[in-house]
A = this chain, B = another copy of it.
Amino acid sequence: MSDIASKVGISRQALYLHFPNRADLLVAASRHVDAENEIDRRLVPSRTATTGRERLDAWIEAFGNYIPVIHGVASALLAMKDTDKAAMTAWNDRMLAVREGCAAAIDALATDEELTASMTRDEATDWLWTLLAVRNWEQLCRECGWSQDRYVEVMQQTAARALIDG
C-alpha cells in the first residue's frame, strides 16, 4: 500500500480514503484495466464466430491475449487469495466470468456436434477454464520463455485436439 501511495504521490492513509482495503483497491484496479482495454471489443470475434471451432479459437485468442494485460493486478489478487477472504471472493467472481466464456465456446462446439464424446459439457468447460488459467500463462510465457503468439497458437491447437474428436 505504501509503495502504491508513494508511486501515486499521495500518503498511504489517503489511499485508505479511496479504498477500504487492499483487496478492494486491487479489484477496482482490475475493473479499471478492463474498461481501459475495451474488454467487450476484444470478445466480438468470439461472439460472432459462426462455427464452434472458430468460436473456440477466437475465445482462446481473445482471453489469451488479455492475460498479459491484467497479469500484474491479477497475480497480486491471486497472491492474496489464500489468506484474504475478500480477495478470494473477488477473484472467484472474476474467474467465474472467464468460465462463462469457456462455457460459451464449449456450447458452440456441442451445438456443432463437435464436442468430444469423452467429456461432459461441464467437464470440458472446467478443463478449458483450467488450461487457460493465469498461472499457466505465467509459467509458459514467463518461466519457460514462450512468446505470446506461440502461447495462443499452442493453446488453440491443444484445446481443439483435446476437445474435438477425430
Q: Is residue A162 within 8 Å, beta carbon to beta carbon, of the partner chain? A: yes
Q: Is residue A14 within 8 Å, beta carbon to beta carbon, of the partner chain? A: no
Q: Is residue A35 within 8 Å, beta carbon to beta carbon, of the partner chain? A: no
Give A39 Cβ to nearest chain B Cβ, in Å: 22
As a 0/1 sequence over residues 116 to 129 of chain A, the CB contacts with chain B under 8 angstroms (1 = contact) are 00110001001101
Assuming A127-B158, A158-B162, is B133 touching A139 (CB within 8 A)?
A: yes
CA A140 to CA B126, docked complex, whole Å: 7
B131 and A131 contact, CB distance less than 8 A: yes
Interface size class of A (residues with CB under 8 A): 20 to 34
Give A91 Cβ to nearest chain B Cβ, in Å: 11
A–B Cβ pairs within 8 angstroms, 17 of them: A75-B82, A118-B154, A118-B157, A119-B154, A123-B146, A126-B144, A126-B146, A127-B140, A127-B154, A129-B139, A130-B136, A130-B139, A130-B140, A133-B135, A133-B139, A136-B136, A161-B161
Give A98 Cβ to nearest chain B Cβ, in Å: 12
Q: A79-B79, A119-B154 are in contact. List 13 more A-B contacts (CB 8 A).
A: A79-B82, A118-B154, A123-B150, A123-B154, A127-B140, A127-B154, A127-B158, A130-B144, A131-B136, A133-B135, A157-B162, A158-B158, A161-B161
